[in-house]
A = this chain, B = another copy of it.
Amino acid sequence: MLDDVLSYLESNLANSLSDLKEVLRLPSVAAKGENMEETAQWVADHLDELGLESKIHKTSGQPVVTGHIDVGAKRTLMFYDHYDVQPAEPFDLWESPPFEPTERDGRLYARGVADNKGDTVSRLWTIKAFLETGTDLPVNIKFVVEGEEEVGSPTMPEFVKDNKDFLKADGGIWEFGGSGIDGIQEAWLGLKGLLYVQLEVERLTMDAHSAYACILPSAPYQLVWALSSLKDSDSRIKIDGFYDDMKQLSESDLKAIAKVDLHETEVKDHYGIQHFLNELKDDALKEAYYNAPTCNIAGIESGWQGMGSKTVLPAKAMAKLDFRLVETMDPEDIKNKLRRHLDNNGFEDVKIAWYDGYPAAKTPVDHPFVDVVNKANKIVFGHDLVVHTTSPGSGPLYLFTDSVPMVSIGCGDFDSRAHSPNESIIIDNYLLTMKRVAVVMDEMSRW
Contacts and interface: CB of A to CB of B under 8 A. Distances in A.
Contact of A310 (B86, B205, B231): B86
Contacts of A30: 308
A196 B311 contact: yes
Interface in A279-327: 280, 285, 288-289, 292, 294-314, 317-318, 320, 322, 324
A260 to B, nearest CB: 13
Contact of A420 (B221, B312, B322): B312
A364 interface: no
A198 B310 CA distance: 11
A93 to B, nearest CB: 8
A211 B311 contact: no
B32 A307 contact: yes
Interface string A195-229: 01010000111111111111111101100110110
Contacts of A289: 214-215
Nearest to A295: B213
Given A31-B307, A309-B152, A419-B312, A218 B296 contact: yes
A72 to B, nearest CB: 40
Contacts of A309: 31, 150-152, 196, 198, 298, 320, 322, 356
A272 B315 CA distance: 10
A320 B310 contact: yes
Contact of A31 (B89, B273, B306): B306
A128 interface: no
Contacts of A295: 213
Given A271-B205, A298-B312, A299-B305, A211 B324 contact: yes
A419 B297 contact: no
A194 B211 CA distance: 10
Given A221-B231, A418-B209, A89 B300 contact: no
Interface in A163-212: 192, 194, 196, 198, 203-212
Contacts of A216: 271, 273, 276-277
A150 B322 CA distance: 37
B305 A208 contact: no
Contact of A89 (B151, B306, B391): B306
B87 A277 contact: no
B89 A304 contact: yes
B311 A204 contact: no
A263 to B, nearest CB: 12
A215 B314 contact: no
Given A280-B215, A296-B218, A309-B196, A322 B210 contact: yes
A300 B317 contact: yes
Contacts of A318: 305
A317 B203 CA distance: 23
A233 interface: yes
A98 to B, nearest CB: 13
A395 to B, nearest CB: 10
A346 interface: yes
6 closest pairs, A vs B, by CB?
A205-B272, A31-B308, A228-B228, A211-B393, A299-B303, A213-B296
Interface of A: 30-33, 86-87, 89, 150-152, 192, 194, 196, 198, 203-218, 220-221, 224-225, 227-228, 231, 233, 271-273, 276-277, 280, 285, 288-289, 292, 294-314, 317-318, 320, 322, 324, 346, 356, 391-394, 417-421
19 contacts: A31-B307, A32-B307, A32-B308, A89-B306, A206-B420, A207-B419, A211-B391, A211-B392, A211-B394, A215-B289, A217-B277, A218-B296, A220-B297, A221-B227, A228-B228, A298-B303, A299-B314, A309-B322, A309-B356
